[in-house]
Amino acid sequence: MAKKKRLSKNQVRRVQSNQNKRLKKIDEKHWDESELGPQLQGVVISRFGQHADIEDENGKIERCNLRRGVKSLVTGDRVVWRAGNEAFHGISGVIEAVHPRKTVLTRPDYYDGIKPIAANIDHIIIVSSIAPEFSRNIIDRYLVACEDIGITPIIVLNKSDLLDPESAKIIEQELQSYRDIGYQVLYSSMHGHGLDALKSVMKDKTNIFVGQSGVGKTSLLNMLLPEVNAITGEISENSGLGKHTTTTARLYHFIDGGDLIDSPGIREFSLWHLEAERIASGFIEFRPFLGGCRFRDCTHQGDPGCALVAAVEQGKIDDARYRSFLRILDTMDDAKNARNRNPNTY
């Protein structure tokens, strides 16, 4: 019996894309323009393929189809939509246009380039924890992303109740280095400690949780919004990494004001789409020294006369942050080289 040839990832994506196009054409045939209502305003609560849940101005959730001209739609987008009827697979409206975004959180995707995750965000809540591990490098990746797109970051150390006195002292020193350069750092525990402070900074803002899988983002969500009752996951015994529990970004409202977007957990936030200069600028304490190197094309990786290296040696830049910067540059190079070697596998 002949062995079936396995499709490449690019071929699989093309097949899925063609299937989505056929489904979209079927959906659009259903709508009779004369049966659609007037244009209405709404916000995207969650996106599902060619459909999205829209909250109207009265707080009612409607599942809508996307018009062919709507090229990009993510949770948090403000949209124009028209109501129809729910006779066709429960679809009750059509999204016709997307308002300009105030901000947008993106991440690189090997297939789609820069891929948006959520829109119109005020705060990015970077959730870290000592389980599965406390990772400055992951925190720093998110901070660079926040600085690059201009969204205020807030660092939250979750599961702080798991810290013993010695570990607590070490972690506090690590986190103090972020406070020293102007970032807000909060603590939270699985027993609810620190929730009041977290609620206070999130009030009347649109916030999004990001962070490594398994750090407790969904558990925090359940404590902040117990009526949501989101499914939580555990730490994998084999890998020590968190299991993914959230599969699509979704927006929730606080009763006393403010919104929270729960995003899919990701184990590593890549920055390979950014040039080294933008990575360096994303480290805010580097900025006073950028442009002060002896050579204009300084890579800040041990080049003679490097202003950043001198600042580290003088104690003006935290050594751990500088080493994190170097690790990010290394992983960027590795990702770009792998993509160039095997473009069809990404």
Domain containing 306 — which CATH number? Answer: 1.10.40.50
Give 332's contacts (C-beta < 8 A, 6+ positions apart). 270, 271, 272, 274, 276, 279
Output the six-digit token pair for 121. 């965000």
The pLDDT score that the predictor gives to residue 214 is 81
pTM tops 0.85? no
Query: Are residues 191 and 324 both part of a single domain?
Result: no
Q: Are 148 and 140 in contact (CB under 8 A)?
A: no
Domain containing 68 — which CATH number? Answer: 2.40.50.140
Residue 158 belongs to a domain:
yes
The pLDDT score that the predictor gives to residue 231 is 45
Q: Which of 221, 239, 262 represents a domain boundary (last residue)?
A: 262
Q: Which of 69, 98, 127 represents a domain boundary (last residue)?
A: 98
Residue 269 belongs to a domain:
no
The pLDDT score that the predictor gives to residue 234 is 40
Query: Are residues 43 and 192 both part of a single domain?
Result: no
Of the candidates 284, 281, 282, 279, the one whose C-alpha atom is nearest the C-alpha of residue 182 is 284
Residue 305 belongs to a domain:
yes
Query: Are residues 114 and 72 both part of a single domain?
Result: no
Which residues of the chain are modeled with pLDDT < 70?
1-9, 11-13, 15-35, 85-90, 110-112, 229-247, 264-270, 333-346
Query: Are residues 181 and 297 both part of a single domain?
Result: no
Range 197-212 burial, b when 16+ CB lie within 10 A, else e: ebeebbeebbbbbbbb
Domain containing 161 — which CATH number? Answer: 3.40.50.300
- Cis geometry, peptide bond prior to residue 100 (ω within 30 degrees of 0): no
Query: Are residues 151 and 300 both part of a single domain?
Result: no
Query: Are residues 83 and 127 both part of a single domain?
Result: no
Range 67-77 burial, b when 16+ CB lie within 10 A, else e: beebeebbbbb
Query: Are residues 110 and 231 both part of a single domain?
Result: yes
Residue 188 sits in which domain range?
104-262
Beta bridge partners, 63, equal: 53
Residue 268 belongs to a domain:
no
Residue 295 identity (one-letter amino acid) = F
Query: Are residues 232 and 115 both part of a single domain?
Result: yes
Q: Which of 98, 113, 136 represents a domain boundary (last residue)?
A: 98
Query: Are residues 232 and 303 both part of a single domain?
Result: no
The pLDDT score that the predictor gives to residue 69 is 85
Give the number of domains in the chain.
Answer: 3
Residue 330 belongs to a domain:
yes
The pLDDT score that the predictor gives to residue 235 is 34
Residue 174 belongs to a domain:
yes
Residue 4 belongs to a domain:
no
Query: Rounded CA gap, 323 and 333, in Å?
Result: 16
Query: Are residues 243 and 196 both part of a single domain?
Result: yes
Residue 230 belongs to a domain:
yes
Give 85's contacts (C-beta < 8 A, 6+ positions apart). 35, 92
Residue whose entry in the numeric block shows the structure tokens 């935290």: 318
Query: Are residues 113 and 253 both part of a single domain?
Result: yes
Q: Are 219 and 242 in contact (CB under 8 A)?
A: no
Phi-psi category of residue 302: left, alpha or beta, with phi > 0 → left and psi -120 to 50 → alpha: left
Write out the DSSP string of 20-48.
HHHHHHHHHHH--GGG---EEEEEEEEEE
Query: Are residues 254 and 113 both part of a single domain?
Result: yes
The pLDDT score that the predictor gives to residue 55 is 96
Residue 303 identity (one-letter amino acid) = D
